[in-house]
Structure 1
Amino acid sequence: MPIITKITVQKKNKERYNIFLDGTYAFSVDEEVLARFRLSKNKELTDFDIGEIEYEDEIRKGFNKALFYLSYRMRSEHEIVLYLRNEHEMGDASIQETLHKLREYGYVNDEEFTKAYVNTQLRTSDKGPQHLQMALKDKGVSPGVIEAMLETIPFEEWLERAKQVMQKVIQKNQKQSEMQIKKKTQDTLARKGYSGIIIREVLSSQAIDRDDDEMWQAIYTQARKAHNKLVNKYEGYEYTQRMKQALFRKGFQMDNIEKVIDHLAKEE
């Protein structure tokens, strides 16, 4: 059986030790593994001993790598698995044992991770529940954990957040018709992960309050755009009909459409 002939501390990492068997470097181990297996000079090692030592050392290295990864922010178990597998090429058995140790010491907990993630998103973004659900699913959190967390947030809170999204859309689109604003709101809320029930409730309950000047600026802006596209292609009756169709499709009332067409004619 090979005998440990020398043990030296690594220069770049004082917590790791080089093990020499029969005068030749064989492998390195973490300080904790060195102590656990009582490795010392003149100790004999079987092939089984060496395999067990290397396996435990891989777990220890995985544990330390995972702690470094967790030092930046909380992670889901799935994120840690991918990190150890893809970045450090650890085997599945070692990864699962590493996860067991991380759980034992309280460094990973998908329930706590999900809670922290959702609370952060609620503070820093206007994303809806479906968006959060998909993001957590991508992080490997189980559907049951995700559902349990999202159920703690009342419907009224999601509704209020959706209303705030609509107000932002209104502010950014002052020169568009009410119909256009509602369409943009619907698209924006859907993209941000709000359900159809919430979207319908917001659109039916939120008024788009604008004074006469604001409404005139909206229709005038859209009419000017349509005019610039049509004026060199059509004239007379056909121009007027196409202008009416373009503005009507955008949700403006016919009496206001006729007024703005007359206004543009006088400008010309």
Structure 2
Amino acid sequence: MPKISRITTQKKHNDRYNIFLDDGKGERYGFSVDEAVLIEYRLRKQMDLDEATIDALIRQDTRHKNYTLAINFLSYRMRTKKEINDYLVQKEVDEEQITHIMNKLSTEGLIDDRQFADTFVRTRLNTSSKGPKLVEQELRQKGVDGILAGEAVAVYTFDIQFEKAMKLAEKKLTAGPVKAFRQKIQQLQGTLMQKGFSGDVVQAVTAELQDHQDDDTEWEALVKQGEKLLRKHQQKLSGIKLEQKLKEALYRKGFTIDLINRFLDENREA
């Protein structure tokens, strides 16, 4: 039966040890183990090791290395169970060891999808302009159960959603190219829905924004769009045909008929 003839520390990994064996035919390298395995099995010089024990030590060390992989992956941020499982599969850890590692991490409180969901939602609430539907979708993509995800985003009350959606909407209204106010509102509705806000919140925000329309700004936007269209079409069209073309184009852009007629009156050829 082989005996441990020597135990040495690895040069690049101070927490790992090389185990050398001697079965009476001279010393040979046997295997390596982590410090935790060395202590758990009380490995020492002149200790007898049969083949079954050696195999068990190697399996335990492999399991410990894979567990350490998971711990390192967790060290950067919280992870869901699915993220940990997918990572270990990617690292080609066998299914039996993954099950053991996942159970151990759960028992130690290192993975908890409910805690992950609550923390994730609080972070999104404080640092992003996303609404609850989009945040819930993100949680589901990370493997959080639908019920847990729904419970976590319940912190997005109507008032909180309204405040975040209004802040985003006001920012969008003042940014981007000059457009008709009605067109901007329509685009805002789509943007807010895409951001994950509820339909009731989107409706409330856009209704509130109706009072924000500035007549002078709207006129300036129409003039800019109208003059651009005029330059584009006046070389090929004139008279009624030109006016009809401008009227149709400006109406599609969201301007009112009254403003369009005013622009046409001011630019009608004498």
Tell me how far 1:180 sits from its aligned partner.
Answer: 0.7
Aligned length: 266
Q: In structure 2, what is the equivalent of residue 118 of structure 1?
A: 121
The answer to whether structure 1 residue 56 and structure 2 residue 76 are counterparts is no
Q: Percent identity over the alignment? A: 35
Q: In structure 2, what is the equivalent of residue 40 of structure 1?
A: 44
Higher mean C-alpha deviation, range 126-135 or range 208-217: 208-217
Q: In structure 1, what is the equivalent of residue 89 of structure 2?
A: 85
Which runs of structure 2 are paired with 1:1-268 in the superposition (5 Å)? 1-22=1-22, 23-86=27-90, 88-173=91-176, 175-265=178-268
Tell me how far 1:77 sits from its aligned partner.
Answer: 2.0
- Helix, strand or coil at the partner of 1:43: coil
Give the direction of change, closer, same or farther, for the CA distance of 1:10–1:241 in structure 2 (3 Å limit). Answer: same
C-alpha distance in 1 between matches for 2:208 and 2:215: 22
* CA deviation vs aligned residue, 1:177-235 (integer Å, no higher than 9, x gap): 12211121012112212233332332233325233321211111221232233223322
The code of the aligned residue for 2:155 comes to T
Moved over 6 A (4+): none
Higher mean C-alpha deviation, range 250-259 or range 18-27: 18-27
* CA deviation vs aligned residue, 1:92-138 (integer Å, no higher than 9, x gap): 22222222222333322211211111111111110011211111111
Give the direction of change, closer, same or farther, for the CA distance of 1:45–1:237 in structure 2 (3 Å limit). Answer: same
Contact 2:131 2:195 in 1 (8 A): yes
Contact 1:55 1:94 in 2 (8 A): no
Contact 1:173 1:181 in 2 (8 A): no
Contact 2:181 2:218 in 1 (8 A): no
- Helix, strand or coil at the partner of 1:207: helix
Higher mean C-alpha deviation, range 153-162 or range 244-253: 153-162
Higher mean C-alpha deviation, range 226-235 or range 159-168: 226-235
Unaligned runs of 5+ in 2: none
Contact 1:174 1:218 in 2 (8 A): no
C-alpha distance in 1 between matches for 2:255 and 2:15: 74
Tell me how far 1:175 sits from its aligned partner.
Answer: 2.5
Contact 2:132 2:156 in 1 (8 A): no
C-alpha distance in 1 between matches for 2:21 and 2:147: 51
CA RMSD of aligned residues (A): 2.2
Unaligned runs of 5+ in 1: none
Contact 1:75 1:108 in 2 (8 A): yes
TM-score, normalised to structure 1, is 0.89
